[in-house]
Structure 1
Amino acid sequence: MTANADILQPAFVLHCQHYRETSLILQVLTRDAGRVALLAKGVRKARSKTAALLQPFLPLQLSYQGKAELKNLTHVESLPPFGVLQGLPLYCGFYANELLGRFLHPYDPHPEVFSAYQQCLVRLATGGDMHIALRLFELELLEHSGYGLDFAYTAGSGLAIEADKRYVFQAGRGLVADPLGPISGATLQALEVRDFSQAQVVAEAKLLMRIVIDSYLQGRPLKSRAVIQQIINGP
């Protein structure tokens, strides 16, 4: 989507970098235009209050225009915040941002992903289970960006997933039965309906999502994941 202008588009800043002496280049996730690159001119001037709004995880409405890939930011409005990310949830938020940068193409709208991202941030900011918040977001991101898994049937054979069997993810195929597989059929059936009420489902879903995401990233590491792991494990 490369329209000349968007007015008051619901958005979140994913990443920002300094540009020249007083400007910023932003990567933002918008509801209706997808991932967009914006040039925010002059926002780092001493009297400007705009830079304080252009922070990750703050709900915003942005207006921008331009024919080039890099659009010009023209207006910023803040929306009521849903909480503050701090500590480990903050780095979980950066992990979600990094995934969006890897899996979404620029100007490819995915309103469902925008909604899933917003819900993920709300869960992280309001004390929800971080693991469940991230797994729900990962599942929706993969589903709507074209990498979703079929949790009802095995790849190739078309046989229904059975609760008492084990399964493994094979890149390029999907989920296949394997007596030594790390994921139970019961977990896959729970993921089909997004049921995380059992501890086993939460643990196996984390393992499965890591395997699936790593296969699509083809060896490219996620910086945020390494930081989270370091925080959890300690020095």
Structure 2
Amino acid sequence: MNVELTPCFILHSRSYLESSLILDIFSREHGRLHLIAKGAKREKSPFSGLLQPYQRLLMAWRGKSELMTLVDVEADIEAYELSDARTIAGFYINELLVRLLHQHEPHPELFDYYNKAIFDLSAAKPVDAILRVFEKGLLESLGYGLVLDHDVDDGLAIDAEKKYHYLIDSGPMRETPSTGDYIEITGNSLLALEQGCLQNKTELEESKRLMRFILQSHLGTKPLASRALYKAYMAN
């Protein structure tokens, strides 16, 4: 498999032997995959300074195994710069992709959601709103899109003035479910999340609880390292 320069982001990297790196990347056209960047840690490596997270790159690779070889890389656009707290938010987004994406499954729309989220983080837009909109797009791209505009019990449009019970496997309903896991949320917050326009404290807090509730069912019991890192950052 020979792939010419194509848009990518690096989600994670780790050392391999003395001078190389194993890269976990997200490609717009090829999905998530692993590459080996041979000699990338050497000072005179042609990859030096380029293999950074949150930078959109053009990457080329070749190979036939699950671990293919990086052969070329260029900066696609100027690198996004994230401050400390926003770097942790970026780490959280990357961790979600590593945990939830299967390898070699293209998700071009999700790539665009990711690119926008990283850009918005670098542009000093509200972090919580950025994360909720990305999480919503992530679930949609994976086939787990949320019902946010109507009551799944009676089909009526969501009323901003009413409260709902969001069933994890189906969606919001006014009546209290007799079975199943659910979380309470206002109609106003459901509509704000649907429109991707979260502004006030209630909308942000309720949408955060909802997304954490939904994502947990897909992530399993293993804790996210990014959440522990954020707690440690806030404690200092």
Same fold (TM over 0.5): yes
For residue 87 of structure 2, what is the amino acid of its counterpart? L
Cα pair 2:166 2:184 within 8 Å, conserved: no
Cα pair 2:183 2:210 within 8 Å, conserved: no
Note the C-alpha offset of 1:204.
1.3
Q: Confirm whether residue 169 of structure 1 aligns to residue 169 of structure 2.
A: no
Cα pair 2:11 2:26 within 8 Å, conserved: yes
Q: Which runs of structure 2 are paired with 1:60-209 in the superposition (5 Å)?
A: 60-177=57-174, 181-209=183-211
Residue deviations 1:23-56, cap 9 Å, x none?
A: 1110001111111111111112232141421111
Cα pair 1:156 1:173 within 8 Å, conserved: no
Residue deviations 1:51-103, cap 9 Å, x none?
A: 42111111100001112111111100012225311210000000000001112
Residue deviations 1:171-219, cap 9 Å, x none?
A: 3333333569531011112222212233322221111111111122122
Hey, what's the Cα distance between the residues in 1 that align with 2:69 and 2:58? 14
Hey, what's the Cα distance between the residues in 2 that align with 1:53 and 1:82? 9
Determine what percentage of the aligned residue pairs are the same residue.
37
- Note closer, same or farther for the CA distance 1:76–1:176 as it changes in structure 2 (3 Å cut): same
Q: Confirm whether residue 22 of structure 1 aligns to residue 19 of structure 2.
A: yes
Note the C-alpha offset of 1:145.
0.9
For residue 126 of structure 1, what is the amino acid of its counterpart? A
Q: Which moved more, 1:156-165 or 1:134-143?
A: 156-165
Q: Report the counterpart of residue 44 of structure 1 in structure 2.
A: 41
Hey, what's the Cα distance between the residues in 2 that align with 1:166 and 1:224? 31
For residue 186 of structure 1, what is the amino acid of its counterpart? N
For residue 65 of structure 2, what is the amino acid of its counterpart? A
- Note closer, same or farther for the CA distance 1:196–1:171 as it changes in structure 2 (3 Å cut): closer
Q: Find the residue that maps to 1:77 and give its secondary structure.
A: strand
Cα pair 1:155 1:175 within 8 Å, conserved: yes
Hey, what's the Cα distance between the residues in 2 that align with 1:229 and 1:207? 17
For residue 98 of structure 1, what is the amino acid of its counterpart? E
Hey, what's the Cα distance between the residues in 2 that align with 1:156 and 1:25? 48
Q: Report the counterpart of residue 179 of structure 2 in structure 1.
A: none
* TM-score normalised to structure 1 length: 0.91
What is the aligned residue count?
Answer: 231
- Gapped regions of structure 2 (runs ≥ 5): 177-181
Q: Find the residue that maps to 1:74 and give its secondary structure.
A: strand
